[in-house]
Amino acid sequence: MSRLVVVSNRVATPTESKGSAGGLAVGVFGALKDTGGVWFGWSGEIVGEGTANAGPEIVQDGAVTFATVGLSRRDYDQYYRGFSNAMLWPVFHYRNDLARYDRQEYAGYRRVNAWLAQQLLPLLKPDDVIWVHDYHLIPFAEALRLAGVKNRIGFFLHIPFPAPQVLLNVPPHDELVKSLCCYDVVGFQTESDLVAFGDYIVRQAHGTVSRDGRTVDAYGRSLRAGVYRIGVFPDDIAAQAKRFETRKDVRELKASLKDRKLIMSVDRLDYSKGIAERFRAFERLLETAPELQGAVSLVQVAPPTRADVQSYQHIRQNLEYEAGRINGRFSGLDWTPIRYLNRRYDRWVLMSLFRASQVGFVTPLRDGMNLVAKEYVAAQDPDDPGVLVLSRFAGAAAELDAALIVNPHDILDMSEALQRALTMPLEERQDRHRKMLAALRRNDLGVWRDTFLVDLRAVRPGMP
Ligand code: ADP
Ligand code: F6P
């Protein structure tokens, strides 16, 4: 079988990819581990203050070759901090109000994509299958094609694809979608992302899309599009969540709760995750059900991310204010309503904390999939499972419809769902959990990986 070459902005180091990395990294590593191959991308390092980047550093780990490059300060600022995270991320999450366009940053975004493609070239073999991930790398295939690469190249978008009217807010939207059409297969998380892409192709690009949305002809190219919902390996998560129950951090948390109920939330500290609305819903719960004061705690784990982008500094300040305000209002001498932790945890410790809690509170304002929702369900004890309260705007809501589905803009709706979750009878909890676990098993991480790669390997190699 042809070798798999994965390209993503971040590359998990060999140790991380085996144990503690998130869904994308676990999935990518799983794909590579089975077949062998290459994982190429940014090392996460900024090399010097100038404009010179650092070429690939190669580390072999079993059958997987990790090839990582360093970015200069200028490239990091323009490609990663600027166009990717201050323009594409907010618009693709329907936050045009937070988007900031700078033509030089866009030029930097394209320049870094072209440079990355040049760095990959010497590592490529003629029949490699190349799988590129996420919004940082939309122009990557186009750059490879310009360099004469004829391999099959697929792209998977981990975040939402916005409706055309929203995408128009990105000034070079037409160039970006044209670049996207240089891939042979383009994959999305949900049906509504695929529909939005098809709408853009028909209305803005004047291309054609087949009835099922899967065959796209635009900009003189023909490509395949599809929905590939990223998943988890639920049985691995359940086993590890159980195994880590006896870990010191988990025992200490349980002891400190003194039989109080626990609501768990885990997110990167991102404005798309709806954390401030969540805090306010919890506050409303304590107001409307005073008997819960002193009887339930919300643990919010939120490690900072993209901390040098201004909107992330604002959300961090706002959350510190909200957590402080709510805790000041309700805390007792031996009870703090919100425990707000800005740090990363070992993945399996998080799964054990999910298992120890009565409610998983996952309420993004917009999210491609949200793996935390799936991990929460997978980590539960089937005999005594916790309840998932899930935003309708998470991609995961399409599969996890046995969760308590809420609208994160409706604070009262969320607080009522919390109350219902905290008092739900065992039988109903088991029933909802059984349905959601079955959905996770039907579409696990292996299914995501294999269906995408089957489709990619089935296309005729791309034409430049
Ligand atoms: P996103 O990709 O936007 O960050 P997801 O929910 O899809 O959101 O994926 C996040 C992944 O990162 C999950 O696998 C989750 O377990 C992991 N994660 C989130 N917060 C932490 C943390 N504080 N420590 C360790 N892992 C985390
Ligand atoms: O799709 C979510 C995502 O943007 C991934 O591409 C990325 O690995 C993750 O979030 C973390 O973001 P960052 O790499 O900016 O820290």
- pLDDT value of position 22: 52
Q: Which residues are within 8 A (CB) of 425 and not within 5 positions of it... i.e. 6 or more apart?
A: none
- pLDDT value of position 50: 66
- pLDDT value of position 408: 98
Whether the pLDDT of residue 163 is over 60: the answer is yes
| Residue-wise pLDDT tens digits, 377-409 | 999 999 999 999 999 999 999 999 999 999 999
- pLDDT value of position 255: 87
Whether the pLDDT of residue 69 is over 90: the answer is yes
Whether the pLDDT of residue 19 is over 50: the answer is no
Cβ atoms of 8 and 131 within 8 Å: the answer is no
pLDDT mean over 38-45: 93
13 vs 87: which has the higher pLDDT: 87
Cβ atoms of 431 and 404 within 8 Å: the answer is no
CA 127 from chain center: how many Å? 30
Which residues is 225 bridged to in the sheet? Answer: 186
| Residue-wise pLDDT tens digits, 423-448 | 999 999 999 999 999 999 999 999 99
Cα–Cα distance, 387 to 406 (Å, whole number)? 13
Report CA(453)–ligand 1 centroid distance (Å).
24
376 vs 63: which has the higher pLDDT: 376
Report CA(264)–ligand 1 centroid distance (Å).
13
- pLDDT value of position 55: 77
Pocket probe for ligand 2: among 88, 158, 190, 270, the residue whose CB has the most ligand atoms within 8 Å is 158
- pLDDT value of position 464: 40
17 vs 366: which has the higher pLDDT: 366
Q: Which residues are within 8 A (CB) of 195 and not within 5 positions of it... i.e. 6 or more apart?
A: 213
- Percent of residues, the chain, with pLDDT higher than 90: 84
Average pLDDT over the chain, rounded to an integer: 93
| Residue-wise pLDDT tens digits, 255-305 | 888 889 999 999 999 999 999 999 999 999 999 999 999 999 999 999 999
Q: CB under 6 Å to ligand 1: residues?
A: 22-23, 266, 268, 301, 303, 344-345, 347, 350, 369-372, 375
Question: From the alpha carbon of 136, which atom of ligand 2 is closest?
Answer: 6
Please name the residue whose Cα sits nearest to atom 14 of ligand 2.
10
Question: From the alpha carbon of 345, which atom of ligand 1 is closest?
Answer: 24
Instruction: Give residue 357's pLDDT band: very low, low, confident or very high (50, 70, 90).
Output: very high
Cα 33 to Cα 40, 230, 445, 446, distances in angstroms: 15, 18, 14, 12
Please name the residue whose Cα sits nearest to atom 16 of ligand 2.
305
Whether the pLDDT of residue 149 is over 50: the answer is yes
Q: Which ligand is nearest to the CA of 81?
A: 2
Cα–Cα distance, 464 to 462 (Å, whole number)? 7
Q: How much is the pTM?
A: 0.96
Can you read off the two tokens belonging to residue 230?
A: 């990223």
Does 409 qualify as catalytic in the annotation? no
pLDDT mean over 81-85: 98
Cβ atoms of 451 and 228 within 8 Å: the answer is yes
- pLDDT value of position 377: 98
Report CA(263)–ligand 1 centroid distance (Å).
17
Cβ atoms of 331 and 293 within 8 Å: the answer is no
Cα–Cα distance, 407 to 289 (Å, whole number)? 20
